[in-house]
Amino acid sequence: MRRKVASNLLWLLADRGLQVVVGIGVVAMLARALGTEGFAHFQYAQSLVFIAASIPLICSAEVVVPRLVARPAPEATHALLAHAFAIRMTAGIVGYALMCAYLAFTQQPADTWIPAAILGTAIMLREPFGVVIAWMQARTHNRPNVVFNLVAMAARVALICALFFTGVNLVPAYATAFAIEPLIAAALLAWYYLSRAPRTVPTRDASLTRDLVRDGTLFWVSFMLMVCARRADQLILKPLVPLAELGAYAATMQVLDNFTTIATILAAGIAPMYVFGQQSAEAARRNVLRVAGGMTAIGLCGAIILALSAEWVVALLYGQAFGETVVLLRLSALASTLVFADVGLSLLPVFLCKPRWVAMKWALVLTTTVIVDLIAVPRLGTRGAVLGYAVGNAVALLFGLALALRARTATAVASA
């Protein structure tokens, strides 16, 4: 059993690590092909899609997987997945419609809304067909999903390389290449599950639908707040700074997103044994603090290296047109250390099954980031957005430390 769990975890970590490496190369080609302004349009469209894609998370894996484990019978599993798919698909259609409404309301130029409309098709593909991934997780068998991801990613990378080396510099063309990936992954997931699923069509169960929506609402709110907190800066920047500056800032955040992904990979590898495997809340709390401390040290070392090599990294990935990115990357690299600490501390509310704490944290982070950006961006431009990024991360860290202290006090009272 342990070997099976370890093998499954290694496949997940390998998938995430390869996606990070490939993502860096793809972003480098995008930036060089599109230039600062084209890259700004593309990243802004991706931010809109990223926010809208949080809407189908209303019935997340945190709700589906435990139920799949509790009801392993094929017919019950099939009915549950069918209802979860219907909920996610409905939410995905709503999310796509809301994104299009926002584009129309804000009167975005064609350079933004066309790639957003193309990239937005993923909203109706990733999460709805992701119920099959939840089914695999419940069976501790993620290897097929990793293989499907590799196939879809290879198709995307091949198309992007073809566009890049043939000199294409049209934003919609690259958006189409990105949209191919979720389409292929969804088709493979559907084929894999339907070839093994019962041939019956489940009867609609209104009470099951209500239970899934009710139990998933708090997780859903947490995810949406987190996504908005991570992407609100670019929405605020676009009308206030030139497109070239927005492109430089988007390039900075792209590097940091890939860098801080290391934190989630580390947490996924450490948490099962050192946190979730603990029998007492106090032991888990102590280990969370140790994990957060170790991850902070790793993040700080990486951030210092990233700041010192910022000029080389930007020149290698983006080229000379993104000179402003060097300064922004140096300013924001050290602030990204706080993300490593926050990811480590976030393991505690997950262990204690307190999604309300997670929602409260991201609501506070989002509010802080928006307030700081609205005050600082008109005065400081993109550097004001970096300030908002740093302050938001600091608030998340302080909130996590406060929760750890509160959990210690509650444990002491319970013991007494």
What would the DSSP string read from start to end of 271-286?
Answer: HHHHTTT-SSHHHHHH
What is the predicted pLDDT for the residue at 297?
94
Tell me if 198 sits within 8 A of 75, measured CB to CB.
yes
Give me the domain span that covers residue 356. Answer: 218-416
Give Cβ neighbours of residue 160 (< 8 Å, ≥ 6 apart).
Answer: 26, 29, 30, 174, 177, 178
Query: In terms of domains, do 50 and 179 share one?
Result: yes
Residues 186 and 293 in one domain: no
Long-range contacts of 135-141 (CB under 8 A, 24+ apart): 135/68, 135/77, 135/81, 135/193, 137/61, 137/65, 138/64, 138/65, 138/68, 138/69, 140/4, 140/5, 140/8, 141/8
Instruction: Say if CB 340 and CB 397 are below 8 A apart.
Output: no
pLDDT of residue 373: 93
pLDDT at 361: 92
- Tokens representing 391 are 């302050």
How many domains does one find in the chain?
A: 2
Domain boundary among 203, 230, 265: 203
Cite the beta strand spans of 224-356 per DSSP E. none
In terms of domains, do 117 and 227 share one? Answer: no
Q: Are residues 265 and 140 in the same domain?
A: no
What confidence score (pLDDT) does residue 151 get? 92
Q: Is residue 148 part of a domain?
A: yes
Same domain, 323 and 370: yes
- Assess if residue 364 is contained within a domain: yes
Q: How far apart are CA 158 and CA 290, in angstroms?
A: 42
Domain boundary among 157, 173, 203: 203
Closest CA to 286 of 345, 340, 342, 337: 345
- Specify whether 11 is located in the same domain as 156: yes
Nearest to 57 by CA among 359, 371, 404, 284: 359
Last residue of a domain, one of 141, 169, 203: 203
Q: What is the mean pLDDT of each run of 10 residues along the chain (416 residues)?
A: 57 68 82 87 90 88 79 84 93 94 90 92 93 83 82 93 91 93 94 88 86 83 86 88 88 88 78 70 84 91 91 84 86 91 87 81 93 93 92 93 76 46
Residue 332 lies in a domain: yes
